[in-house]
Amino acid sequence: MSFISVFDVLGPNMIGPSSSHTAGAARIGFLAQKMIGGNVVRADFTLYGSFAKTYHGHGTDRALLGGIMGFSTDDMRIRNSFEIAQETGLAYTFTPNETETEIHPNTVDISITNKNGQIMTIRGESLGGGKVRIVRINDVKVDFTGEYSAVIVVQQDKPGVVAHITKVLSDRGVNIAFMRLFREAKGHTAYTIVESDGKLPEDVAEYLKDNVNVRDVMVVQI
């Protein structure tokens, strides 16, 4: 007998008519701004499939923009995302792409820039029921749901880096729920995504960066 959760039956708390087009979109934007550390000053959205066809009428644009500004899926401010973005000086664009069809129907690429000038590109998919998946970070294929607090370590694919990550997390009392490594090629850029059962220590990034092959650390607290 398969298990069906109350969440699957009732769906998420959300603003807007569709869990895929609003709750999922807001969640993708929310995770993206978490990954870059907040303080987003520019966001460029490229929409595919169903997102590209109906993003304005279904409120996907407002939801994505609200998520980028840190609004949760049930935040009433999503309705006024455009006005709030203008007031706060957040620059944004929406570009529908209807030529690429071999792709999940509810997909968005987001290029985001924070106030420090850091730029990151992510691809997210809205799976329904408010659930999402980040499937690409800066052209490297990954698989990250954002359902747990996580550290995302950007590293050179060298021996000893994963051991360093696990030791740091163990020393800081972090209980690992899931841990996966994704890389573009052997010896090149890799992403280790570690999801935790609880909140992560505030100083975990500082300790993880204490390795010559660790380039950056993203801490996503859920």
For each of the domains in the chain, give its residue range(s) and CATH number, in order of start: 6-144 (3.30.1330.90), 149-220 (3.30.70.260)
Q: In this structure, what token pair is assigned to residue 127?
A: 């799976």
Tell me: pLDDT of 13 over 60.
no
CA-based nearest residue to 188, from 150, 156, 147: 156
CA-based nearest residue to 120, from 201, 184, 35, 185: 35
Percentage of residues in the chain with pLDDT exceeding 90? 73
Instruction: Give the model confidence (pLDDT) of 25-52 as tens digits.
Output: 999 999 999 999 989 999 999 999 988 8
Instruction: Give the model confidence (pLDDT) of 162-221 as tens digits.
Output: 999 999 999 999 999 999 999 988 889 999 999 998 999 999 999 999 999 999 999 999
Tell me: pLDDT of 16 over 70.
no
**pTM, full prediction:** 0.86
Say which residues have a Cβ less than 8 Å from residue 158's Cβ, sequence separation at least 6.
Answer: 187, 213
Which CA distances in Å does 183 have to 76, 97, 204, 213? 39, 27, 22, 14
Residue 108 — φ and ψ, nearest 5°?
-140, 135
Instruction: Give the model confidence (pLDDT) of 35-94 as tens digits.
Output: 999 899 999 999 999 888 887 777 899 999 999 999 988 899 999 999 999 999 999 999
